[in-house]
């Protein structure tokens, strides 16, 4: 530091001014890169088939340690809610040959669903022979999962 006063010592003046320069060294941490790394590690640790709900992801900063003048380490925790996969094969085999209402009731009992399942029988192009039960062959049953509705349900308290 080098302070300089004006007016100089011994001079009379209605004002006194001090000029000083200081030199400082700082160390910055890129928290955005840390968050990206934490998210990547979280995704690597997720069980296969699960999905992370983006609105539930939180980054919690931890301790910062200066290891040497050029290196800093810091802890960051990433957390979020996961959606479990749905076993499509199990759903198909569970509802084989069932009445649509009975199948919907059974699915509602066994799975935490955002809403009652829509069960549609077809084919629509065959107007005179309309099936009344689900097929008895599992590959003739198509299961669609609405992940958006599932994520909204998972976010409810």
Tell how strand 4-6 and strand 17-19 pair up: antiparallel
For residue range 56-98, list pLDDT tens digits in order: 899 998 888 888 877 888 889 999 988 888 888 999 999 999 9
**Which of the 8 DSSP states describes residue 96?**
T
- Residues contacting 24, CB < 8 A, separation 6+: none
Q: What is the pTM of this model?
A: 0.53
* pLDDT over 80 (residue 141): yes
What residue spans define the domains of the chain? 34-85, 88-145
What does the block give as tokens for 95?
């509802």
Predicted confidence band of residue 136 (pLDDT cuts 50, 70, 90): confident
Report the pLDDT value the prediction gives residue 12, as an integer from 0 to 100: 84
Which of 76, 61, 57, 59 is closest to 154 using CA atoms?
A: 57
Mean pLDDT of the region 108-136: 79
Which of 27, 32, 26 is closest to 76 using CA atoms?
A: 32
Count of residues making up the chain: 157
Report the pLDDT value the prediction gives residue 1, as an integer from 0 to 100: 65
Decide if 34 contacts 42 (C-beta within 8 A). no
């Amino acid at each position: 530091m080098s302070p300089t006063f004006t007016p100089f010592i011994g001079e009379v003046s209605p004002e006194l001014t001090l000029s000083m320069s200081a030199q400082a060294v700082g160390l910055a941490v890129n928290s955005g890169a840390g968050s990206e790394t934490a998210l990547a590690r979280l995704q690597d640790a997720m069980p296969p088939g699960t999905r992370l709900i983006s609105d539930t992801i939180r980054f919690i900063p931890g301790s910062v340690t200066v290891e040497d003048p050029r290196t800093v380490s810091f802890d960051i925790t990433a957390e979020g809610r996961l959606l479990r996969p749905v076993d499509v094969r199990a759903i198909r085999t569970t509802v084989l040959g069932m009445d649509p209402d009975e199948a919907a009731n059974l699915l509602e009992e066994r799975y935490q669903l955002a809403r009652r399942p829509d069960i549609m029988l077809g084919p629509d192009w065959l107007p005179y022979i309309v099936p009344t039960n689900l097929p008895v062959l599992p590959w003739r049953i198509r299961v669609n999962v609405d992940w958006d509705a599932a994520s909204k349900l998972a976010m409810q308290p």
